[in-house]
Amino acid sequence: MRIIAGEFRRRLLHTPRDASVTRPIPDRVKESLFSMLRGHCEGANVFDGFSGTGAIGLEAVSRGAARCLLVERDRHIVEILRSNVELLGCGDRCTVLQGDALGAAALAAAPRPLTLAFLDPPYPLVQEVAGFRRVLAQVSSLVDILAPGGFVVLRTPWPLRHAPDAAAASTGAAEPQRDVSRKDKRGQVKRERSWRRHAESMDPKRAAEQLGGRRAPKQRADADEEAVEERSASSPLTPSQREAIEQLDRKLAQVESEIEHAAPVKGVDADLTLPNAIGPETHVYHGMAIHLYAKRSGT
């Protein structure tokens, strides 16, 4: 990980041995982001939430930011972050805060008036509805303290979708009818195949219970097939048993057909808009997106 431009151009930053711990932003995306923010770093007050090793906040400092608050929760990553600030010799312009980037303490410590704010939360956090709402709430709070012409920048996975029932619950809407997933249907097929294999050995009462959805008899799915065939040969099928087998065959064929023709259940696109902000202006880079928010006039 390196600084791309400015005072510390080409300086390498300390990083953890496992790069996946901090999910660093690729250089090409970082360069594109700061190209969009050209002219906004000089003399800026910066908030860098989920700072990691400081790749974004220290890039802003290198490009002329006057003050930068770097917020990181992980104690071991904070040690690396502090070592990077010391490495660049910019401790007079940077404050490292170990804590929750979505918490009140981080918001209170943000330099004012705020020019730029960066939030790069873990992907699993925004992919879960409750976490996504917490992130948007902090984005909204940061927008409130933006200086005129300032921006809040949020990085998320893309596309960003939530399960239909979870999205409805988050907005208070009525829960939609949940479709049976392919996994559920495959499980049903597996169970029906098991019952079909042993159907010839069932007595009519047990077969009727299975078809009626009542409690199934305690019979191992992997029962010895030769034993089943032996019992079947010694006990001719009754009309009721034959009818039960035919119904099982029809049911299995129907479920397999539904699996073959069913469309996958898609999630609901996350609503990234905020009442107090203009935007977001979204820029997509393969599996990630950068969202820019500006303060709405009159808020």
Compute the distance between CA of residue 299 and CA of residue 280 in angstroms, rounded to an integer.
16
The backbone region for 54, taken as left when phi is positive above 0, alpha when psi lies in -120 to 50, beta otherwise, is left
Nearest to 62 by CA among 83, 82, 34: 34
- Return the CATH fold of 19-164+268-295: Rossmann fold (3.40.50)
What's the pLDDT at 172? 47
What's the pLDDT at 264? 55
CATH 3.40.50.150 residue ranges of the chain are 19-164+268-295
What's the pLDDT at 259? 65
- pTM of the complete model beyond 0.85: no
The backbone region for 23, taken as left when phi is positive above 0, alpha when psi lies in -120 to 50, beta otherwise, is left
What's the pLDDT at 24? 81
Q: Is 70 helix (H, G, I), strand (E, B) or coil?
A: strand
What's the pLDDT at 175? 40
In the chain, the amino acid numbered 210 is Q
Residue-wise pLDDT tens for the chain (299 aa)? Answer: 899 999 999 999 999 877 666 678 889 999 999 999 999 999 999 999 999 999 999 999 999 999 999 999 999 999 999 999 999 999 999 999 999 999 999 999 999 999 999 999 999 999 999 999 999 999 999 999 999 999 999 999 999 998 875 555 554 443 433 444 555 556 666 666 665 555 555 555 665 565 555 444 444 444 444 554 454 455 566 777 777 777 777 777 777 777 666 655 568 899 999 999 999 999 999 899 999 999 998 76
Compute the distance between CA of residue 67 and CA of residue 198 in angstroms, rounded to an integer.
74
What's the pLDDT at 266? 65
Compute the distance between CA of residue 136 and CA of residue 139 in angstroms, rounded to an integer.
5
